[in-house]
Every structure is written in structure tokens, then in C-alpha cells.
Amino acid sequence: MKNKFKFGSVSIYSMIASIIILIFFNAVFYSKMPAELPIHWNFNNEVDAYGSKFKAMIGVPFILVAMNIFLCFMLDNDPKNRMQNNLLMTITKISLPIMMIVIYVITILYGLGREVNTGVIISLLIGVLFIVIGNYMPKVKRNYTMGIKLPWTLNSDENWRRTHRIGGISFIIIGLTFFAYPFVKSEVLIFGVVIFAIAIPTIYSFYLYTRGI
């Protein structure tokens, strides 16, 4: 039996939404923006890279649209995602359009000369994303596109299940750390917790593998 190329309804809505976001923000605000706009901020809420108006308003968002289409394609055509949790799939598919809106709002506010605490906004957004992912991670069934895809998790349903239960806790800890960042402002803390939280499920998965799981 041949496998057919497909896109689910949520994927179609997500892709259309990302394209509409790109067109809308440029139609309304492009002519009002200065020649250069910020395209990257450091952990201290300082702009450390500028780009042309075209790059900030069209180039980068266009890449995000392409990434969104590719993500939706991969999710909908992964043969192991047919029995996947629908809510989790929906959250994943709408993540990039939401990110596009946030990036556009921050960029436009800067272009209009408004003060924006990008560090707080980005930290809270990343924190929410990690907590949501962490909450649903234990519900992810073994697949090729979502989750902690290690040789040992992909080899065993039980290894996958146990590793993602630990991984969910790790991701929630990462999310809470990003919530705390605007108050502690320690890059070492952020990177330390992220590395630790990634290492734990990886080591645990290999440990299960050595036990025959």
C-alpha cells in the first residue's frame, strides 16, 4: 500500500495563518519602519545585531513561514504520529505562528521608537513554551519528529516512556528557570540548568538501555 502525502486541517490553518501574519504586518507597518531594525538581543536586553528593514520584516519571517510548512509536513507525514495526542500536535503546529506575532510586535515597537523589555518578554515566552512541552512530553508516543529522539528511546517503547517522564520534569524546570531569569539575570544559571536538564534524560535513557529496557 502506497503512503500518501498529506496535510491535516490544523496544519493548513497554521500555514495559512503564518502567511497572513507575514502579509498583514508588512502591509500595515513596513512603510513606517526605519531603514535598519534590531534582529537580535542579548540576555541583558541590549540589541547586539541590526539588519535591513527588508531582512527584519520579510527575510526572517519568511524563513519562519518556511520552517512552519516543513514542521507541519514532517508531523503529518511521520508514520508513527497517526495515534499521537491531538492537543500536543496542535500546540506544536501553532507555536511558530505565535512566535512570528511576538517577534513582529517587538520589532515594530522598536521601529516606532517605543521602549520594549525584550528580555522579560522572551524569557516568559520561552518559559511558557518549555512548561507546556514538559507537561505534555510524557504523553508523546514514540515517533521520529517530536520528543527526545535518542538511539535508545527510538529502540524501545518502554525506554521512550520512562525517559519522557523524566524529560517532562526537566523541561518544566527549564521553563521555571526562564521565568526566574528577569530577576536573577544570570546567563550561567540559565545555561547550567539547561545543560543539566538535557543531560539527565539522556543519561537516564542510556542507563535504561544498559538494563535491557
Q: Domain residues of the chain, as ranges?
A: 1-116, 118-213
- Answer for the pair 125, 102: CB distance below 8 angstroms, yes or no: yes
Grid coordinates given for 207: 542507563
Alpha-carbon distance of 182 to 33, in angstroms, equals: 28
The Cα–Cα gap between 93 and 14 comes to: 6
68 and 97 in contact (C-beta within 8 Å)?
Answer: yes
DSSP 33: S
Euclidean distance between CA atoms 152 and 205, whole angstroms: 6
115-160: pLDDT as tens digits: 788 878 888 888 998 999 899 889 888 988 888 999 999 999 999 9
Amino acid at the residue 26: N
Report pLDDT digits (tens) over 83-94.
776 788 888 899
